[in-house]
Amino acid sequence: QVQLVESGGGLVQAGGALRLSCAASGTIFSPNLMAWYRQAPGKQRELVVSITSGGNTNYADSVKGRFTITRDNTKNTMYLQMNSLKPEDTAVYYCNAILRGINYWGQGTQVTVSS
């Protein structure tokens, strides 16, 4: 019923920028919470940033000042602007949405930052 689709990943040099998008479709149009997670090879998935339907945000310390999340409830889409990228940002980035306590996940998009 609910599908999340990420896009915008790719390969970029250190110091460069990328913008990720996550579009939600199905029965959900305004999730209570949406977030970006990432998972590097051999590591567990970690929260990058979350955003509520009201626009309140919570960033991981590692990305503060470099990443910016926005949410367009009308378009049922959220974005992650990633600036000043570092090699340690390399990971698969996942879109997440929560509605009534149920987690919905995208399939992930690869972000690779070369040194």
Question: pLDDT tens track of the chain, all 115 residues?
Answer: 788 999 999 999 999 999 999 998 876 567 788 999 999 999 999 999 999 888 899 999 999 999 999 988 788 888 999 999 999 999 999 999 988 888 999 999 999 999 9
Bridge-based pairing state of the strands 109-114 and 91-99: antiparallel
**Listed residue (36, 108, 24) closest to 68, CA to CA:** 36
Secondary structure class of 88 (helix, strand, coil):
helix
